[in-house]
Amino acid sequence: MTVLLMSISTFKERSFVDTNVDDKVVKLSMELAQDHIIAPITGTKLYDKISEGVNEGSLAISYQNLLVKYIWPLLIQGTEIIAKKHLLYRVTNDSIVKSSNSNSTAIDISELRSLLRDNEQYLNGYEDRLKLYLSANSASFPEYYQADSDDIPSENYNGPINFYYDGPEIYTTGPSSR
């Protein structure tokens, strides 16, 4: 079972996703974002170390800062993108249907594409920021460059190392919600 790097309630507090969105949709979207966005950037070793620390509630402060300041923003945007693509539609036994209700009007596809483009710009910015931070702080996160033949290596980034750091942020982890 996948360890969520952020609780669903924290995700809803920090994103534009409404609190009435089914937790199942958020959970599935977040798992996809972790597997297809976060893990390929960090590589298997670092991703596993963070996941284990979150699950056990024993994540070192440097990893907590990495998680909260650099991974969470990327995870939020990725989860939102994935959720937006799936919230309007449901798969049933008979077909794929578009959801609607009497209290709101579903947006058209061009508006959805515009929202997704905005999210993807934010996602790309947070992705670059995470890569720069990991490259600049490789001594603090040795798992970032370690990969065995069975692991997904981290994506290499050869751009300039130039980033802004505004001081420590403490995040106390506990067992994640599943």
Q: Where are the domains of the chain?
A: 8-92+105-145
**Per-residue pLDDT tens digits for 13-43:** 999 898 988 999 999 999 999 999 999 999 9
What is the chain's length?
A: 178
Contact 1, 176 (CB under 8 A): no
What is the pLDDT at residue 163?
A: 28
For residues 76 and 16, give the distance between their C-alpha atoms in angstroms, rounded to a whole number. Answer: 9
Rounded to 5 degrees, what angle do the CA atoms 11, 15, 17 make? 90
Taking alpha carbons only, the member of 158, 134, 144, 153 closest to residue 40 is: 153
Rounded to two decimals, what is the model's pTM?
0.71
Q: Predicted confidence band at 10 (pLDDT cuts at 50, 70, 90)? A: very high
